[in-house]
Structure 1
Amino acid sequence: MSTTLAPTADAVPPSSSDLKAVFTPHPAHDVEDDTDDEDAQPLLETERTFKDSVHGLIKLSNRICKIIDTPQFQRLRHIKQLGTSYYVWPAASHNRFEHCLGVAHLAMTQIQRLQRLQPDLKITQQDVDCVTIAGLCHDLGHGPWSHVWDTMFIPKALPGKKWKHEDASEMMFDDLIKEPNVNVSPEEAHVVKALIAGDLSRCPELKGKEFLFDIVANKRNGLDVDKFDYLARDCYAIGQGESVSSERLIHSARVIDGQICYDIKDANTVYELCWSRFSLHKRIYNHKTAKAIEYMLIDAVLAAEPYLKIAEQIENPKQYVYLTDDIKLRIQSTTEPELQKARDLLYRIDTRDLYKWVEYKVYPWSVKDVCRQRITPKAIVTHAKKIIKPDNEMYELAQELDEEHVIVDLAHMHCGMKEQNPLNFVKFYSKRKPDRARHAEGGDISHIMPEVFCEVLLRVFARDPRFVAVIQLGFRQVLKAIGNAEAEEEVDLDSESEPDEPTTPKPPKRTMSRNVSRVFAPPDGAVAQGGTTSTWGHNAFTDVGNTEGRDNLPSGSGKKRGADARSPSPPKKKGRTAK
């Protein structure tokens, strides 16, 4: 039997009383409520719901939402979570704003679960609010392009100044709680700032509740809701999907002996989270194109700094509230000739005329100080000028090369605890003994794990593409010099040492490294990159054009430019300036 929606001839039009009944509000929908009981107030007056792409529906109390509805917090809408990685992954357009909402949600979820399941912890509603507010406000101080600001710009703009975004977070929070609609007492503000810093020593009154400091900024082992959110959110934004279930870890968490511990069955999930951190840092946050753009942005802002006095604004919350990623557009909108250099650099970013990547190499953590001290722009320029002689086709470029053309970027890659296995800092419990926690041993988790948990990623960039091949030659000569120096040092040590009396070999000491190595080793008969098994061999996969053997270039050799000898460096581009 079909149903028709068309009116029939027999249809009777609704009466005025029927229409009045239809459009009369139901008593349950009345806005006003005469009761004085806060619990009986309509839901919309006590909490607000946010639809989040990662966590679904997020419900936050009216008190927390008053903090969100301030200029200091709304500023985070204009700061990209991934900074310049957005230029590589167009879908990664999320901001610090939604990340902070997610961290607040996870922080509240975790502490409320602990409050419900472990009443002996005596978690109060004030504890819940302080932890939630700390999660919400932990990133208030991030500057333009997130970590680019405090790790790259400020150290160059204000040499010697010890400043990090956490300092600005406290400054902005102090300014935020002065807003008329915000209800945070001075005592609560003190606790919130200590939770953001992850510093228990600032709150001796919380002795016995040390676990509160494991939730937002965990200095014990790095497992906190901040990491839970940004790993899930960043993976979602780049199209990778969720890497690790933060919900599972939150449901696994239990406080034992004053710290948050996890079920031993979730040990592999904990390790996967730490490995995801390493993977994202290496593939996404430190992508070579994103890094090139970072250096271009910093060079542009530094060029504008003498005229705009941008760095001075970090001490004034009333000025800092307007310091966001929009600074790029503000510089580009200027017309003063003093800012032309800055505008030209920003124009190059928009037209994808970027600083050129020259070479990269991954080094063991143990040589990080050698890399920092000896692989410098000055060393690269010196060696390039030394090896390229007047009859070489690149001689003129070598003479023109200076330190300003060279960028050496050193990035420390690790799983969260630098050279240490992060699992060594986490305690686990079992269902059979839920109130006893201990560190896991190798056989409790897996034997298929790396022996090392950190490395150094070194990359060299050229600000001018004409110098790519020259810089690469200089860089490889630096590597060769370091390798030769180490070899000579080993020979000297061997010649000076006296032969030892034969002794009974001692058994090796038992160490925490109980795993099978994942460290790359070439198969039998193969040669490591760079044509040598030395740590200081170059990366043969990054040769610029036809440069086979150029790193072994003898003095005075090299063909002059001719029909059969092309220059390995591209011709100089016509000057492009911002309109």
Structure 2
Amino acid sequence: MHIDECEDSAPRSRFVKDPIHDLIEISPRLSSFLDTRQFQRLRNIKQLGTTYYVWIGACHNRFEHCIGVAHLSRLLASHIKTSQPELNVTDRDVECVAIAGLCHDLGHGPWSHVFDGMFIPKTMPHVEEKDRWTHEKGSEMMFDFLVQENNIEIDEHDKNFIKALIAGEHDRTPSEKSFLFDIVANKRNGLDVDKFDYIARDSHMAGHAVNINTSRILQSARVLNDQICYDIKDVNNIYEICATRFRLHKMLYNHKTAKAIEYMIIDVLLSADKYLGISDSLDKPEKYLRLTDSILETIEASEVEELKEARQLVRRIRTRDLYRRVDYKVLPYDMRNFAREKITPQRILDAVRERFSCHGEGAGSQVDANGLGLDDIIVDFSTMHYGMKEKNPLDKVMFYSKSRPNQCYPAQDGDYSFLRPTVFAEVMLQVFTKNPDFYGVVQAGYRAVVASLGPEPFRSTASTAQQGRTGSPDVSEGPPTPRDSPMATPTGSVTDILQSYASLPSIPSTTPGGSCLSSLLRENEFTKVDASYRHISPVKQLVKPRSTSGGPGGSIGSGGKVFPTSGNSGSVIEMQSLGEKRPRDYTGFMEEPGSPSPKRRKAANGAKG
């Protein structure tokens, strides 16, 4: 009896049902970290931030993602421990790796990367990027807070090891096995279980599920030369993970509406920061504990005057009166720095003022740009890549074969599909306006800035990048275009530039970077609007139609339609199409109570015959 009681009182593992990995085992040790305020906080932080406003199925949170990463971390570490006992991977190693996977996102702020990727740089503009606060630093702070508040017994060396695993920095604990740092945060090639989980989870929840066999990849993992390698048979599977990462960034994470709402939320937080002290909580774990996506509801429910501006922005989000993207362009990765320098809100504003400052002549007479300020213009650059910026991530992954399981090599041409891109990174340039009334004006200003650049600055940039890759200039490249040629940069006022730009010939695609230059300078016909265009939100489009005569039920317009007034339900009813309907006789279908069904009656009549 005493033994049974001891067995019943002993801590047991529990299981949770996950849509991605099915049943996940939560060990008692892992539960001591999971059942805390610090970890439960992640239930209130969206995994994909504002993407949920566009993909309504993408409502998953950091909570379930971290559990999934802990699960995969334990599986991979346990597989290495079992399949390669000579590596001396211990149960303690497996446990630390699993805890690191569970706690790796403890430091994420509201709307995940929106907070540390966009809000923090705005509040700390003079802090260098290497010294800036990141969610990884926040995770270490919250991990220490979790251990301290919940009195978790853990060796100090183990605690430092877990924090180093979260950061992916082996040099902080050089006595530990270096290949274990490839599991949670792989700085070598970016291929880690964090990526395995979020790619599968984000795709599934957004309704774009991918068929990537993660279990097979984990089972093929093998440590060679102190790094995790994979079977060459899985090279296409691994490449698909990298390709899917790029597609998710292009299709979901940088969607124009999600990006617009990101900037609106940033403005909400910046406006409320002075009153709520949001940025002051970065080094205060108790205060940071309460900083989640729910801050939007906190601001919305407030009545203080200091948060009035923030409340108005929240209301705009709720009513879909959003910032609007006026134009976009996909740029080659090599041009990112030049474009950031030349295409700025200030240059766009200057172009608008130059073109529309005089109302007596030309296009400016039809457009009122008064009131447009620098803060109304947003120029966003989003880098989208396969996981290692401009490099092919598979160049950094090592593979082995069944015939030579103890030797590893990088995959070469012919080892996997040739149907892959020649470049692995690009930049999405998006221009937004905070005031939809200036939609056409801001677009005209942006296009004037691009036109004023002309082809030559971009040609020199592309040529420099090309020389950097090849080591010598392309001998087929012709001499620079002279200033008096038809392709020379237009000069004069912005209006003159816009007019002369239309006559520019296409840049030959044989010129280094020529094809991308011509695409940059070419106006986007799919987004082009008149400078006087003003975007009207869906809510504002619901205006009451003008009536021709009145009545208690509505106003009768042409064609016999009844238009809604404040006294009716608001629906539009077509009256002329409602003719008189002939009444039908249903008595033939009526049955007496208790009479047999038609089927039974038919069977009975057949038996009589």
What TM-score do the two structures reach when normalised by structure 1?
0.80
The alignment status of 1:436 with 2:407, answered yes or no, reads: yes
Aligned to 2:518: 533
Q: How does 1:85-484 map to 2 (within 5 A)?
A: 85-161=51-127, 162-206=132-176, 209-388=177-356, 389-390=358-359, 391-392=361-362, 394=364, 397-484=368-455
| Matched position secondary structure for 2:329 | strand
Higher relative contact order (CA 8 A, sep 6+): 1
Structure 2 Cα separation of the partners of residues 55 and 145 of structure 1:
24
Rg larger in structure:
2
Give the Å deviation of 1:421.
Answer: 0.6
Contact 1:79/1:95 (CA < 8 Å) preserved in 2? yes
Contact 2:347/2:449 (CA < 8 Å) preserved in 1? yes
User: Which deviations, in whole Å up to 9, do the C-alpha atoms of 1:353-401 show, x marking residues without a partner?
Assistant: 1011101100000100011111110011111222334224545533432
Structure 2 Cα separation of the partners of residues 347 and 424 of structure 1:
48
Contact 1:529/1:537 (CA < 8 Å) preserved in 2? no
Contact 1:529/1:540 (CA < 8 Å) preserved in 2? no
| Matched position secondary structure for 2:24 | strand
Structure 2 Cα separation of the partners of residues 81 and 34 of structure 1:
43
What amino acid maps onto 1:377 in structure 2? P
What amino acid maps onto 2:396 in structure 1? F
What amino acid maps onto 1:381 in structure 2? L
Structure 1 Cα separation of the partners of residues 341 and 124 of structure 2:
22
User: Which deviations, in whole Å up to 9, do the C-alpha atoms of 1:318-357 show, x marking residues without a partner?
Assistant: 1111000000001111111121110000000001110111
What amino acid maps onto 2:169 in structure 1? D
| Matched position secondary structure for 1:139 | coil
Contact 1:412/1:457 (CA < 8 Å) preserved in 2? yes
What amino acid maps onto 2:147 in structure 1? I
Which structure 2 residue ranges, 5 or more long, are not aligned? 465-473, 477-505, 541-609
182-191 vs 114-123, greater mean Cα deviation: 182-191
1:532/1:213 CA distance change after superposition, 3 Å: closer
User: Which deviations, in whole Å up to 9, do the C-alpha atoms of 1:19-60 show, x marking residues without a partner?
Assistant: xxxxxxxxxxx8x73587xxxx45972311111111011012
Which structure 1 residue ranges, 5 or more long, are not aligned? 1-29, 494-502, 506-520, 551-566, 575-579
Give the Å deviation of 1:116.
Answer: 0.6
Give the Å deviation of 1:448.
Answer: 1.7
| Matched position secondary structure for 1:113 | helix
What amino acid maps onto 1:92 in structure 2? A
- Dislocated runs of 4+, deviation >3 Å: 32-36, 41-44, 392-396, 487-490, 521-524, 528-532, 570-574
Structure 1 Cα separation of the partners of residues 306 and 261 of structure 2:
22
Give the Å deviation of 1:486.
Answer: 2.1
| Matched position secondary structure for 2:448 | helix
Contact 2:231/2:402 (CA < 8 Å) preserved in 1? yes
| Matched position secondary structure for 1:315 | coil
The alignment status of 1:542 with 2:527, answered yes or no, reads: yes
User: Which deviations, in whole Å up to 9, do the C-alpha atoms of 1:395-445 show, x marking residues without a partner?
Assistant: 553343221111111000100000101110000000000010011110111
Structure 1 Cα separation of the partners of residues 20 and 157 of structure 2:
33
The alignment status of 1:73 with 2:39, answered yes or no, reads: yes
What TM-score do the two structures reach when normalised by structure 2?
0.76
Q: Identical aligned pairs, as a percentage?
A: 48
| Matched position secondary structure for 1:361 | strand
What amino acid maps onto 2:351 in structure 1? H
| Matched position secondary structure for 1:432 | coil
What amino acid maps onto 2:388 in structure 1? M
1:523/1:95 CA distance change after superposition, 3 Å: farther
Structure 1 Cα separation of the partners of residues 507 and 50 of structure 2:
35
What amino acid maps onto 2:212 in structure 1? V
User: Which deviations, in whole Å up to 9, do the C-alpha atoms of 1:104-146 show, x marking residues without a partner?
Assistant: 0000000101111100110011101110000000000000000
Structure 2 Cα separation of the partners of residues 259 and 327 of structure 1:
42
| Matched position secondary structure for 2:184 | coil
What amino acid maps onto 1:386 in structure 2? E
1:478/1:186 CA distance change after superposition, 3 Å: same
| Matched position secondary structure for 1:261 | strand
| Matched position secondary structure for 2:149 | coil
